[in-house]
Amino acid sequence: MSQPHNEELFSRAQRSIPGGVNSPVRAFRSVGGTPRFISRAQGARVWDADGVAYVDYVGSWGPMIVGHAHPRVVEAVQRAAAEGLSFGAPTEREVVMAEELKRRVPGLESVRLVSSGTEATMSAIRLARGFTGRDAIVKFEGCYHGHADSLLVKAGSGLLTFGNPSSAGVPADFARHTIVLDYNNVEALEATFAERGAEIAAVIIEPVAGNMNLVRPTQAYMQRLRELCTANGTVLIYDEVMTGFRVGPRGAQGLFGITADLVTLGKIVGGGMPVGAFGGRRDIMDCIAPLGPVYQAGTLSGSPVAVAAGLETLRLINEPGFYERIEALTTRLVEGLAAAARDAGVTFSAQSVGGMFGVYFSSLPPQSFADVMGSDRERFNRFFHAMLDAGHYFAPSAFEAGFVSAAHTEEDIDATIAAARRAFAAI
Ligand code: HOZ
């Protein structure tokens, strides 16, 4: 029997799975065309159901920082799996993971493992509310923190991609506790705290946004946010599910030299398996059950196999020169793409932070959600398809960041830049 093709699989999938996918952005709806069904991956490459190879800049949306199917991570997973898949009881590996995270993440005095980034942010919000006894939270337009009810208000990622930034099914009574502000807008932040500071339980922020494409906040903005939270007894939550161990070895906290009260983690911490974590100040974390009154739980939390994958990934990224190399590769990519666009006379910009990057069909990198909306999305879609046809897999949406792994080589990056030269000339 011949191998099923992407199109056949997509038709079959749509008969049994909503939209044919288990997470919306991968359906390719905003860029059009047929999603690639991935059959295997190794290093910097993924292969689709037709056997076509792509240089991968999605990297499972961030976690695959050491490359796909790294032999040491695979071996760690196999070893853990052979010892048992799940116990619903504590294991030594979880303790090692908690100690590792405490050692590396600023301000992390206590940490709990969960199974996804969504669980981490949802739990952190509940905890902040329980700790402060307040209901209101602040989030920023275009930031996406997973799909918990209070956070699906003017959110990024798939909600932005499909033009529906506030999900149906979220009771108005929940949404009214979520205050949405413009990213990077100090005046709006100050005015909100001046008016409602005493009601705000938490501010949650993607400290480098990656779900409305990559948007970098200014140092002054992050500093002022920290000051206002401290002055108002508001819990500052850095959602580092994407940026943790990605923008640098100490995440965005390290980048800005600012310590949040709570941090959420995911993606890299699971090395490609489902893991999330939230943690921070001990006085806040001690409010979680069984120590305190805020309930949070999970049968598969601290999954021994997933934690084994995460631990091995954390060991690999700790090796000397890891971040220098990944940062140099990512810079080479964005500078090469920008030069290729310039030569072709295409309005384009690009930037990177650590191993994470953004490409924009606008003359300057965006500072806010409004700037992102001003970019030429039709042109992005044509670029995306030209690159895909040439064997280079970028995120299938103008509202997502891209990711480079340590398995990418300079030759891979240069091949992508060469393909982009042809793509820019054609679009
Ligand atoms: N929300 C993810 C990107 N920020 C996409 C998840 C997926 O489609 O796999």
- Calculate how far, in angstroms, residue 115's C-alpha sits from the geometric centre of ligand 1: 15
Contacts of 265 (CB under 8 A, 6+ apart): 101, 105, 117, 120, 240, 241, 244, 276, 277, 278, 279
Record the pTM.
0.97
Q: Is 154 among the residues known to form the active site?
A: no
Q: Does residue 47 contact residue 39 with C-beta atoms inside 8 Å?
A: yes
Confidence tier at 1 by pLDDT (50, 70, 90): very low
- Angle of helix 186-196 relative to helix 219-232, nearest 10 degrees? 0
Task: Determine the Cα–Cα distance for residues 274 and 203; give it in Å rounded to an integer.
Answer: 25
Tens of pLDDT, residues 227-248:
999 999 999 999 999 999 999 9
Q: For ligand 1, is residue 26 a contact (CB within 6 Å)?
A: yes
Q: For residue 158, give the ligand 1 atom closest to its CA.
A: 1
Going from N- to C-terminal start, the domains of the chain cover: 5-69+321-426, 71-317
Q: Which homologous superfamily does the CATH classification assign to the domain defined by 5-69+321-426?
A: Aspartate Aminotransferase, domain 1 (3.90.1150.10)
Pseudo-torsion of CA 80, 84, 87, 89, nearest 10°? -40
Answer whether 25 contacts ligand 1 (Cβ < 6 A).
Answer: yes
Average pLDDT over residues 85-107: 98
Q: What is the mean pLDDT of residues 119-132?
A: 98
From first CA to last CA, the distance across the chain in angstroms is 38
Annotated catalytic residue 393: no
Contacts of 176 (CB under 8 A, 6+ apart): none
Atom of ligand 1 nearest to the CA of 24: 8
Distance in Å, CA 131 to ligand 1 centroid: 30
Q: Which of 21, 22, 23, 400 to mutate to test the pocket of ligand 1 (most atoms within 8 A of CB)?
A: 23
Mean pLDDT taken over the chain? 96
Concerning whether 267 is annotated as a catalytic residue, the answer is yes
Ligand 1 and 157: CB distance under 6 A: yes
Determine which one of 54, 57, 139, 144 is catalytic: 144
Decide: 28 in ligand 1 pocket, CB within 6 A.
Answer: no
Residue of the nearest CA to atom 1 in ligand 1? 157
Contacts of 163 (CB under 8 A, 6+ apart): none
**Which one of the listed residues 48, 57, 221, 239 is annotated catalytic?**
239
Centre of ligand 1 to C-alpha 395, Å, is: 9
Q: State the number of CA atoms in the 13 A half-sphere of 120 facing the CB.
A: 33
Percent of the chain with pLDDT over 90: 92
* Residue 50: predicted pLDDT: 95
- What are the C-alpha distances in Å from 305 to residues 43, 79, 245? 21, 8, 20
What is the second-level CATH architecture of the domain 71-317? 3-Layer(aba) Sandwich (3.40)
pLDDT for residue 175: 85
pLDDT tens digit sequence for 126-149: 999 999 999 999 999 999 999 988
